[in-house]
Structure 1
Amino acid sequence: MNAISLDATDCRILTVLQQEGRISNLDLAERISLSPSACLRRLRLLEEQGVIEHYRACLNREVLGFELEAFVQVSMRNDQANWHERFAEAVRDWPEVVGAFVVTGETHYLLRVLAHNLKHYSDFVLQRLYKAPGVMDIRSNIVLQTLKEDSGVPVSLVKKSGGHGASHGER
């Protein structure tokens, strides 16, 4: 899939929305120096083009009682039929797994896991992860401190078009 071409105004819209997803169109238009109608047209086009997939709230995991975060490397036995499909299906059913990635390197998967505490995490590993079909080895890295966490896209690095991106001649 080819990256979409955006102009500087599109990038400003996306930057603001990633920081303040509930901003009103009127406030967004004012912030990026567009008329409200032009801003709304651009926003709708960015949604239609799939640049904006959906909107959601960022929750504070600690306030909700999730005190432990871990990154877990999982190595699989690949001598079993459908080992990848079976593991992927199991991962989708585990609410503790909030991120799952197929990776290169010494392991097959990298999981981001949230748990209430060490006992909850231990129960998850022993009762579910180790019992998943084909799991051979698990290596856990418990997060001690988060230095940076941003689930957004670095809009400042997006290749910008020379002209107008989402729509033309707006103010």
Structure 2
Amino acid sequence: MELDKTDLAILRYLQEDGRINNSDLADKIFLSASSCLRRVRALEEAGVISSYCAVLDADSVGLEVDAFVQVTMRRDIEQWHENFSKEIQHWPEVVGSFIITGEANYLLRVRARNLKHYSTFIMDRLYKTSGVLDIRSNIVLQTLKDTHVIDSALLKSTD
């Protein structure tokens, strides 16, 4: 889908406030409510807007540990990728998972209540997963920037 300046404005406002009502959104981008609603629905149907959600403050809900974990797999285990990919879907501690370049195969973002919870996850789940060869953890000491907002300066516009 090609995005114009109006689409980019819609996306910017929806990323700032996913609960904004259509009438207020239309006012902000100088469109009629019906035109605005048509554009939002088109963005949703095209998959540009994939979902709406509430972003929780991890500290406020008791998740003190935030860690990035590099996982290297043994390649001599049959279907190691498929099995690992299925396994991590059942682990609530894993809030992000990525296939990466470099020595490791995966980068996981793990959230835990405390260091004991994190340690139990690493020792009792991750290390015991078939095919796992090596794990390297980086525990976040301080977050400088963490956002899901995609700035419109990165997006291609048809205007």
TM-score interval for Structure 1 and Structure 2 normalised by the shorter chain: over 0.9
SS of residue in 1 equivalent to 2:138: strand
Instruction: Choose 149-158 or 88-97, whichever is displaced more.
Output: 149-158
Q: Quick check: 1:43 aligned with 2:40?
A: yes
Distance 2:22 2:148 in 1: 23
Distance 1:136 1:48 in 2: 41
What is the percentage of aligned positions where both structures have the same residue? 57
Distance 1:7 1:125 in 2: 46
From 120, 137, 142, the equivalent of 1:140 is: 137
Displacement of 1:48 after TM fit? 1.3
Displacement of 1:9 after TM fit? 0.5
Q: Quick check: 1:161 aligned with 2:139?
A: no
From 76, 80, 85, the equivalent of 1:88 is: 85
- Superposition pairs for residues 16-165 of structure 1, below 5 Å? 16-162=13-159
Unaligned runs of 5+ in 1: 163-171
Deviations 1:116-151 (A, max 9, x none): 000000000000000001001000000011111111
Displacement of 1:114 after TM fit? 0.1
Displacement of 1:155 after TM fit? 2.4
Distance 1:92 1:156 in 2: 33
Distance 1:98 1:142 in 2: 14
Instruction: Choose 73-82 or 46-55, whichever is displaced more.
Output: 46-55
Contact 1:12/1:32, CA 8 A, preserved across alignment? yes
Question: If the length of structure 2 is used for normalisation, what is the TM-score?
Answer: 0.97
The count of corresponding residues between Structure 1 and Structure 2 is 159
SS of residue in 1 equivalent to 2:57: coil
Distance 1:77 1:41 in 2: 50
Displacement of 1:38 after TM fit? 1.1
Distance 1:115 1:81 in 2: 30
Moved over 2 A (4+): 152-156
Displacement of 1:154 after TM fit? 2.6
Contact 1:11/1:156, CA 8 A, preserved across alignment? no
SS of residue in 1 equivalent to 2:153: helix
Displacement of 1:50 after TM fit? 1.2
Unaligned runs of 5+ in 2: none
